[in-house]
Amino acid sequence: MLGRVRPVLMAAITTMLRMMPLISDAFFGSMAITIIFGLGFASVLTLIVLPVTYTLLFGIAYPDNNGRSLPQH
């Protein structure tokens, strides 16, 4: 799972960091703030909320340390 999360986080974080210098600009400041918070919110939604919701709604079994699938409670 970490192999899928790392590229998404790296792309989101680098884009958010590269928008930081634009915050002090009078013309692009509000756009930069909107992009930073929108990208942060979308990343959290995609990486945390969506998988948890999907797991709860569809009752996905998760593997234990030995690779066997544990039953849902």
Residue 15 has pLDDT above 90, yes or no: yes
Q: What percent of the chain has pLDDT over 90?
A: 52
pTM over 0.95: no
Which residue segment(s) compose the domain that 41 sits in?
2-58
Interhelix angle for 2-19 vs 29-44, to 10°? 170
For residue 64, is it within any domain?
no
pLDDT, greater one: 28 or 61: 28
Q: How many residues does the chain have?
A: 73
- Does a structural domain hold residue 6? yes
How many domains, the chain? 1
